Structure 1
Amino acid sequence: MEFHGRSSDLRLLQQQLDDVRTGTGTTRGRALMLSGRRRVGKSRLVQELCDRSDLPSVVFQATRRRNPAAERRDFLDIVAHSDLPGADLVAGLTASDWNQALRALAVALPDDGPAVVVIDELPWLTEQDLELEGALQTVWDRHLAHKPVLLVLVGSDLSIMTALQEHGRPFFGRARPIRIEPLHVADVQDATGLDAAAAVDAYLVTGGFPEIVQSWRPGSTLRTFLAESLTNPLSPLLVSGELSMLGEFPQATSARSVLDAVGSGERTFSTIAAAAGNDGPLKSGTLGPLLTTLQDRGALAVDSPLSTRADTKNKRYRVADAYLRFWLAFAPRAIPLVERGHGERALAQIERSWASWRGRAVEPLVRESLRRLLPDKSWPIVNAVGGWWNRRNNPEVDLVGTDHEPVARSVELVGSVKWHDTRPFDRREYDALARAAVAVPGASEDVPLVGVSRSGFVDGLPLAAAWGPGDLVAAWR
């Protein structure tokens, strides 16, 4: 399968490998902690690195809930059958613990040239064998760090991968953390061959997950892609979300209920509590830790109003990645229809809600894109971009640019996002923005007003800046 995008990720990994080649650093070896959501393409990325490097390598894929002794046998077998120079020295060896298994790896590694070692899904190994962390630290310090090796430790459980790097844990300070995100919107445009506006729509649906993006036939419209995906209950668009959810959040758990509530559109603590509870709202003592856990796992993001006034009690929750945001909003109702052969009904349901759903779903992408574009010559001190709202969401301001976050010293711009298929940003929307802007704490009466629109702007609007789909996509290049 052709490898798409990831140029910056590959470049970063290649730089680490180049440092191993040249002996840059305090040790000959270098360790990386590569984390990211399930199905985001981590395994494919490290395999691509191995293939392109043309160096001796080992890639070991752990199996969840497998007996540790069986995992060690497989690890040694893979090392023995690898192209490492000392692989034959490992053949037939057994290991009673991970200390012995990792020392055998050190024996197989070359002394006079670089090599790459990948241990995929490290959290699954640490779950089954609590001694692995200590063994990894010991063997790294005594053997592996003195070899010209790039050791890449990969994991999908973000909370465990973060914990493995905390102070007090055995491997603390020995590995550089790297977070792998889905393909960005410019990668999605390159893969689908769409114009900028359509590429943004494609990103909102696929979330940049490689398997889903690769199922999009280049040049196909959004409607064509959805229609084709909804005729097949095993399409990547439907299956990827289900597999991710089952792997991380089993159906019966309270965490899954909370995620379902946010995915269905609930944003505040109280409305999420009401939607996620079975016999009444979830109690705050239950919901609070669940929300924290979902944030730690990278499933939820939380936003606070951005202005010169601190406001930590007015939080809004959202599904963190674009694909799960789409999947949770539409797939639970669509999948039963698709399984009964009524994909056209599922498509009609999506189309009825598409415009309103997309209008809110695009806002995180717009803000992140502007964070990449700013500061610039016109906005030299805009270092933060967010939104602002009060408890009644009246008004609710899409864009606020400030010099600092979470509490700004100055508000530099206030803006609105209008993402309509054909209607441009017009005078009525400008006037509404002007009225709302004065409610933002710290915004002066003459604060610059900006707009973001999918379909352009009517002439004569006194906007200080106007951005469109092409600008958002370009921000990622």
Structure 2
Amino acid sequence: MADSFVGRRQELAMLRKRLDRAAASGSGVAVALRGRRQVGKSRLAQEFCDRVEVPYAFFTATKGASPVEAVGAFLGELRESGLPTDPELVPGADGNPVPGSWPDAFRVLASVLPDRPCVVVVDELPWLTEQDDLFDGALQTAWDRLLSQRPVLLLLLGSDLHMMERLTAYDRPFYGRSDTMVLGPLNPAETGKALGLEPADAVDAHLVSGGLPGILRIWPHATPALEFIEDECADPASALFGVPEAALLAEFPAPDQARRVLEAVGSGDRTHANIAAAAGGRAGPLASGALSPLLHRLVTEKRVLAVDAPLSTASGKPALYRVADSNLRLYLAALRSAQEQSRRGRADSAFDVVRRRWSAWRGRAVEPLVRESLELAAGAGELPWPDTAAVGGWWNRRFDPEVDLVGADRAPVAGAVRFAGSVKWLATPFDVHDLMALLQAAPQIPGFTPGTTGLVVVSRSGAALPEGAVDVVWSAADVVGAWPAG
């Protein structure tokens, strides 16, 4: 991938709008920007600062620093930035004493803000709140009394999603004072554009990278996913391994029950019972009273897991869990084992680990992406069922059958099922045998009406079916085309 900045047009426009608002009103605007590690928050903020061509200061906190050290580093960055007309006014120059508290630091910031529009970026904000319990209150007081009186855009960046949400929660000092933006990974169309790949290879690259710029930046142009993985297996320090490994260590610095639960899901255990058995180990299955809160935390706070329930006109069980990020999912399923081989100098063995698990992993990993793509297409009026608001899957307690795609007017319990379908992401086309399996399974979905409910096929290699056998046939190009290219 070239170093050129790809995508993020909407996010850049949203930030530009807020800077323009600050310029027009003469008052400050704050934005809390959150997103998982390696998603490109810092790069987005820097790209924005470079494009708008106004004075800015960019401070990145250091994990584990003391409040005094953090304040000193902040003032150092401020002094070197383009904000102060006279850097000598910032404490620390020529040995001047540096204040050791955030209220003092924010007063210094306010004193050097220009009368014209400017930007102040505070990156890794959760680390500052960890270091100093008074930081949130100091920020709120400084904003209300000093900073908001100037035409400044204050960007507050953080990777700890739960702590960033807490920053603006109703019971916290900064509540109601900032807009909130969530930065997700690059979508499949942006991934394909960045790497110069055709749609089928773009989907594979998106699944492997998770759309994370930290991985895409080392991906050679026009290189298919398996070829890229094979090359990287010779380098145990590759970002292909390092990015998900760092994300895992950041969220779970020490092995504990939550991490064992995540690893159980990453290894392929999807149901509550199977996860309990795998995570419990020799001590026996984890008790439901212990497992349920852990799953809730991993889904709602950490957001490393996602939970899917069968979609139909009847409430259904069981729920199925999966690792939300496809890159971390691949790491837990294959890349971690491959990295161990790579560290021992066995690149061929490392790639063999991935190759053996590739088809099964990809077949599961692509399903959530296909469902998202169909939802987007339905919302844009590009499917025959424009009132489709949710796309999921369906299964019974025996998992016989499992239906990959169910489109409905609402979720979690549908009022009407609009279509059912299958995903086949293999080198062979969707054929009559695959269609017969779908025709046998689909009528078991509560709410499916033969002759009325539509049929959808999504296939990497096209379909070999009689004309009119199904209502919609999607290719990889359709999956990618449902997303804006940026």
TMscore range, shorter length: over 0.9
Helix, strand or coil: the match of 1:173? coil
**Aligned pair partner of 1:475 in 463, 466, 482:** 482
What is residue 70 of structure 1 aligned with on the other side? 69
List per-residue Cα deviations over 1:333-373 (Å, max 9, x = no partner). 11121111111112122112211111111001101111111
CA distance in 2, matches of 1:184, 1:107: 41
Equivalent AA in structure 2 for residue 395 of structure 1:
P
Helix, strand or coil: the match of 2:179? strand
User: Is contact 1:397-1:436 (8 Å) kept?
Assistant: yes
**Aligned pair partner of 1:302 in 303, 307, 317:** 307
CA distance in 2, matches of 1:21, 1:310: 51
Task: State how 1:340-359 maps to structure 2 within 5 Å.
Answer: 340-359=344-363
What is residue 144 of structure 2 aligned with on the other side? 141
What is residue 201 of structure 2 aligned with on the other side? 198
Equivalent AA in structure 2 for residue 440 of structure 1:
I
Equivalent AA in structure 2 for residue 118 of structure 1:
V
Q: Please state how far the C-alpha of 1:217 moved relative to its aligned partner.
A: 0.9
Q: Percent identity?
A: 48
**Aligned pair partner of 2:243 in 235, 240, 244:** 240
Equivalent AA in structure 2 for residue 17 of structure 1:
L
Equivalent AA in structure 2 for residue 120 of structure 1:
D
List per-residue Cα deviations over 1:23-75 (Å, max 9, x = no partner). 3xxx7211111111111111111111111111110111111121111101111
**Aligned pair partner of 1:213 in 216, 219, 236:** 216
Q: Please state how far the C-alpha of 1:251 moved relative to its aligned partner.
A: 4.6
Task: State how 1:136-215 maps to structure 2 within 5 Å.
Answer: 136-215=139-218
Equivalent AA in structure 2 for residue 46 of structure 1:
A
Equivalent AA in structure 1 for residue 162 of structure 2:
S
What is residue 428 of structure 1 aligned with on the other side? 433
What is residue 376 of structure 2 aligned with on the other side? 372
Q: Please state how far the C-alpha of 1:81 moved relative to its aligned partner.
A: 2.1
What is residue 295 of structure 2 aligned with on the other side? 291
Q: Please state how far the C-alpha of 1:87 moved relative to its aligned partner.
A: 5.2
User: Is contact 1:230-1:338 (8 Å) kept?
Assistant: yes
What is residue 79 of structure 1 aligned with on the other side? 78
Helix, strand or coil: the match of 1:374? helix
Question: CA distance change for structure 1 residues 87 and 417 in 2, over 3 Å: closer, same or farther?
Answer: farther
Q: Please state how far the C-alpha of 1:389 moved relative to its aligned partner.
A: 1.1
Q: Please state how far the C-alpha of 1:304 moved relative to its aligned partner.
A: 1.1
What is residue 230 of structure 1 aligned with on the other side? 233
What is residue 9 of structure 2 aligned with on the other side? 7
What is residue 38 of structure 1 aligned with on the other side? 37
Equivalent AA in structure 2 for residue 390 of structure 1:
N
List per-residue Cα deviations over 1:408-428 (Å, max 9, x = no partner). 11111111111111x111111
In structure 2, the gaps of 5 or more residues are none
What is residue 394 of structure 1 aligned with on the other side? 400
User: Is contact 1:81-1:87 (8 Å) kept?
Assistant: no
What is residue 334 of structure 1 aligned with on the other side? 338
User: Is contact 2:432-2:465 (8 Å) kept?
Assistant: no
Aligned residues: 471
User: Is contact 1:371-1:384 (8 Å) kept?
Assistant: yes
TM score, norm. by length of structure 1: 0.96
User: Is contact 1:250-1:256 (8 Å) kept?
Assistant: no
User: Is contact 2:67-2:100 (8 Å) kept?
Assistant: no
Q: Please state how far the C-alpha of 1:172 moved relative to its aligned partner.
A: 0.8
What is residue 264 of structure 1 aligned with on the other side? 267
CA distance in 2, matches of 1:138, 1:325: 42
User: Is contact 1:90-1:107 (8 Å) kept?
Assistant: no
Helix, strand or coil: the match of 2:276? helix
CA distance in 2, matches of 1:334, 1:216: 18
Helix, strand or coil: the match of 2:321? strand
TM score, norm. by length of structure 2: 0.94
CA distance in 1, matches of 2:254, 2:332: 13
Helix, strand or coil: the match of 1:466? strand
What is residue 465 of structure 1 aligned with on the other side? 472
What is residue 56 of structure 1 aligned with on the other side? 55
CA distance in 1, matches of 2:361, 2:386: 33
